[in-house]
Amino acid sequence: MKAEKQRQKLPLLKFAAYRKDVEALPPSTTDYWTTVAAIINYQSFLNQLENKAPDPSTVARPCLFVTAGGISNNNTLEGTSRFSRCIVDLDTTTNFVDSAVIRDSVVRYHGGAVTIRHAIFINCAFILDLKDFPQKPARPDLLRDLLASDQIYFTLPSAG
């Protein structure tokens, strides 16, 4: 969105109306998913301005899962683990999230396949880039749920 690139804050009522208009469109509409991604990215930008999500430039390390054998970055965030102030690449380096709480982190999604069950995201910045999946991402439910949320406390129980 132009407002995000120029670091401008749209009037909240105007932004809410725009989001509702997009939610009402059929997903087959041209550029629907890239528009949804732009709205989600802008909501994260607004949350950053209000200190409800981290600035992505301040979060540099990937989320690592501690296993019995040590620290692992094997595409899985699972267990009743909590992850904080780290980067989660949902469909590139992380392909499976189960029963994890991710807080104050940067969550990136590029439109590919990822399995998410019982995940809670608290005060996270979401960055979506769907250039490889402009027609339909592998997890449209994830994008629809994010679009309908304020992203401050976001849960995703589905398995996709």
For residue 78, pLDDT over 70 is answered with no
Rounded to the nearest angstrom, the gap between the alpha carbon of residue 135 and the centroid of all alpha carbons in its chain is: 18
Q: Of all residues in the chain, what percent are helix, strand and coil, respectively (each to 5)?
A: 30, 25, 45
Alpha helices in 2-96 (DSSP H): 2-5, 12-24, 32-49
Token representation of residue 99: 């029963």
Using DSSP's 3-state secondary structure scheme, residue 81 falls into coil
For residue 138, pLDDT over 50 is answered with yes
| Residue ranges of domains in the chain | 2-156
Reference 138, options 11, 33, 61, 38; nearest CA is 33
Note the pLDDT of residue 68. 42
Note the pLDDT of residue 62. 85
- pLDDT single digits (tens) 91-112: 887 678 888 888 999 999 999 9
Reference 124, options 53, 55, 60, 66; nearest CA is 53
Note the pLDDT of residue 76. 67
pTM of the model: 0.85
